[in-house]
Amino acid sequence: MSQQGPPLPEGLVAVVKRDCPTCELVAPVLADLRERAGLTVITQDDPGFPVSADWVVHDADLALSWHHGIETVPTLIRVADGAEAERTLGWSRPEWERVAGVAGLGPGLPHYRPGCGSLSADWARADELAVRCGGSALRSRRVEIAASADEWEDMWDRGWSDGLPVVPPTEARVMRMLEGTAREPHETVAVVPPDLVECSVEKVAVNAVMAGCRPEYLPVVIAAVEAVCTDEFNMHGVLATTMSVAPILVVNGPVAARIGMNRGINALGQGNRANSTIGRALQLVVRNVGGGRPGGVDRATLGSPAKVGFCFAEDETDPSWPSLAQARGFGADQSAVTAFCGEAPRLFADELSRTPESLVRHLAQALRASVSPRAVLRMDGMVVLSPEHMARFAEAGWSRDRLMAELDRELLIDADEIIRGAGGIAAGLPPEAAGRRIPKFRPGGLLVTRAGGPAGLFSAIIGGWLNGPAGSDPVTREVTP
């Protein structure tokens, strides 16, 4: 509620609307108070209610009601020296007599009746009133769209869309989105590649609106923007590579449940608003703020559905098994987003292994083919373990550390098998690697997380991109309000 606005008149003021049974009930009391105490009535809907008179003021634009925080009608207020001294909501004879200083009000009326919702508090009007009455401090450029134009088509024509329809980012929607964070709208979140443009919280909110986010998702989107706009993640390189990679976002901690993210059935797919829109909002920020568009800096040969947006929450129902964020140094009570540069997920199926030893060997075989069976050390990877596969390790008492150690051992590869020319294949390691055993992934280059429905012996492997200074490293950022 704004601290400025049209003042209330001195003395007693009642705010009412005709479309309220309690207001209709107290209409005789309003007339009585006018005669005995000089009441002014502010009517929200009908200028002739309770009567057509000079002491009845029609709040046609609801500015008075909005600025003075009227949430319920009838509301009786006493104003003294230009300031509100007291108020009471609904109809209560003792309270009205106390605030008005007048005895014997409404002798034939019930002792108490609750009021109705104020029109100024109606959710359908809230956004428009906030902009019109509260003013807008937004700094983003305003774009006028002709009344006869199709706004969705117009936004596509202006290049703001990823190919799917986007939500028009009106002032009201952006202001509502900004309610999802305590950060100042003009605070800089990051410098966004490839054009290295400063991106404010407000600009993130604009793109979160376009992506279809709810306000409570905004802190996660902000953390994701912070993560990918780092030298370590190298978003410019991720765009410029001809490989089909994009930011993969894994959300950990209390925020995932709080905003209703999907960690279960179809967690890597469609159907959950938070999962679908958070990753999309990040991609729209890179596109619309940073200038990263296909055919420009984005040079992917084939592309990937992950480029639309790829975000999911980790299954953290087993507290004995540290989450991905915990494995990366965060506490269980902290909310965090990990950005990993990867391709679309590839199914890993094993419906016969009943021991962790069998399953880990099979999983390692599948991981060897990640990106290419002949690519070692240069590419990171991610495993998304389903609950049924995870149960094989949990029931045997394997810890996360035990699983990672076993995978490291199984992922040692005889260089002679993948040397250039071996098996008649030109691609591979240089000849000087002969005779060595080389790990598939660099230390810490394989990330393991958990998600999926309770039934189905299927997990997922997500291949990565080049790692290190020439490529991309995973980055984890805390989600803060």
Q: How many CB atoms lie within 10 A of CB 103?
A: 9
Tokens 């890179």 correspond to 286
Please give the sequence-ordered ranges of beta strands (E in DSSP) within 177-324, or none if there are none: 188-192, 197-200, 246-252, 311-313
Phi, psi of 25 (to 5 degrees): -60, -40
Whole-number Å distance between alpha carbons of 473 and 451: 22
CA dist 249 and 278 (Å) reads 9
What is the sign of the dihedral through the CA atoms of 178, 258, 456 and 396? positive
Contact (Cβ atoms closer than 8 angstroms) between residue 352 and residue 392: no
Longest Cα separation, the chain: 105
For residue 387, how far is the Cα from the chain centroid? 26
- Listed by start position, the domains of the chain span 11-134, 152-478
Structure tokens at 428: 């591979």
Instruction: Specify the DSSP element, H or E, that contains 361.
Output: helix 356-368
Give the amino acid at 246.
A
CA separation for the pair 113, 76 (Å, rounded): 14
Q: How many Å apart are CA 22 and CA 26, to the nearest integer?
A: 6
443: Cα separation from own chain's centroid? 32
Pick one of 1.20.1250.20, 3.20.20.100, 3.10.129.10, 3.40.30.10 as the CATH number of 11-134: 3.40.30.10
Q: At what angle do helices 273-288 and 218-228 cross, to 10 degrees?
A: 50
| Lookup result for tokens 């260089």 | 415
Rg (CA), the chain: 31
Q: CA 240, 249, 280 angle in degrees (round to 5)?
A: 70
Q: What is the pLDDT along the chain (481 residues), one digit of tens a residue?
A: 344 678 999 999 999 999 999 999 999 999 999 999 999 999 999 999 999 999 999 999 999 999 999 999 999 999 999 999 999 999 999 999 999 999 999 999 999 999 999 999 998 888 888 888 877 778 888 888 888 889 989 999 999 999 999 999 999 899 999 999 999 999 999 999 999 999 999 999 999 999 999 999 999 999 999 999 999 999 999 999 999 999 999 999 999 999 999 999 999 999 999 999 999 999 999 999 999 999 999 999 999 999 999 999 999 999 999 999 999 999 999 999 999 999 999 999 999 999 999 999 999 999 999 999 999 999 999 999 999 999 999 999 999 999 999 999 999 999 999 999 999 999 999 999 999 999 999 999 999 999 999 999 999 999 999 999 999 999 999 999 9
Kindly state the DSSP code that residue 433 receives in the 8-state scheme: G
Q: Coil, strand, or helix at residue 121? A: helix
Residues forming beta bridges with residue 249, ordered by sequence position: 311, 339
Provide the 10 A C-beta neighbour count for residue 441.
Answer: 21
